[in-house]
Structure 1
Amino acid sequence: MARPSDSLAGLMPRIAAGDRDALRQLYEATSAKLFGVCLRILSDREEAEDVLQEVYVTIWRRADRFDAARASVMTWIATIARNRAIDRLRARSPLARAEPVEDLEIADEGQVSAEALLSASDDAARLGACLGELDERTQGVIRTAFFEGVTYEALAQRLGTPLGTVKSWIRRGLARLRGCLER
């Protein structure tokens, strides 16, 4: 019996070739999860629906860039959804655009992000254990910055803490997190 990830990976070459039925199948299999990602970040149903549509347009146009050796289909498309939702969130207010979150952001949409690792069932326990090794404050700022898409400046303002301090907490926390994940 084929695993769901295998069937999704089989759709990608068909989508890259312009097969609309393959895109429909991918949409039916993944839209609920991707909508949840968008809604969690944006907290606005209408905006999440708009972003979800943009996500599938992006998938349609960039399916040829998918590389199964780098990430699963679900990881790849969830990363696209997360990035589009964060872009929309940042466009919403000047405060949100002030300082981008850099360290674990995806330079190329095919790379795996911290959130994608968390959503991948094989790595969730390991990442959760490593996050659990961080102190509560550091764990909280990393989760807020990377899983909610909150910028450093907005996070500093939310916490009533200097921006440089928040950046230091995140930078040190990410270093410890990477060290734990590499063990």
Structure 2
Amino acid sequence: MTDHARLLKSCAGGDRAALRALMDAEGGRMLGVARRMLRRADLAEDAVQECLVLVWRRADQFDPTRGSAKGWIYTILRNRCLTLLRREDREVATEPAEFDRAEDRIVVDQAFDRLAASSDLRRCLAGLDEPTRRAIVSSYVLGHSHGEIAGRLGAPLGSVKSWVRRGLGKLRECLS
């Protein structure tokens, strides 16, 4: 039987193996709960990922006098699922039939290619994986929303949002 409270305390101390143990112990059940709530596998995966990130970041906030560690983790998961449901109501991925992928790909590639070979921005963009780079360039050059980018790349909306957020963080770090 897994001691969730002990693992959370270890996570608060920066022990990545403890987070892995939590994921191994609860990941399957968390995914099942998220799928039942969200009724979409892609959103459920995003919810579990975001939940585990929050567990890692906020493990020091867990108070065993206020409830069980397992309950605390599933409360975070439930809240992430509800947040994703609210977001999905506002933003919907563009259907693939509504755009020309080839034309967008050419414009995005040309925008990247036009950057000077010696520019820091080109170097930093080149350091990103291709989907992340395409999502960021599509957003800034073509003015696409996250939903439009998700439709164009055929990727889950939550993944596109994560790519853009993490990619911009990497760009900031690279350019500073």
Structure-1-length-normalised TM-score: 0.48
Q: Which of these two proteins has the greater Rg computed from alpha carbons?
A: 2
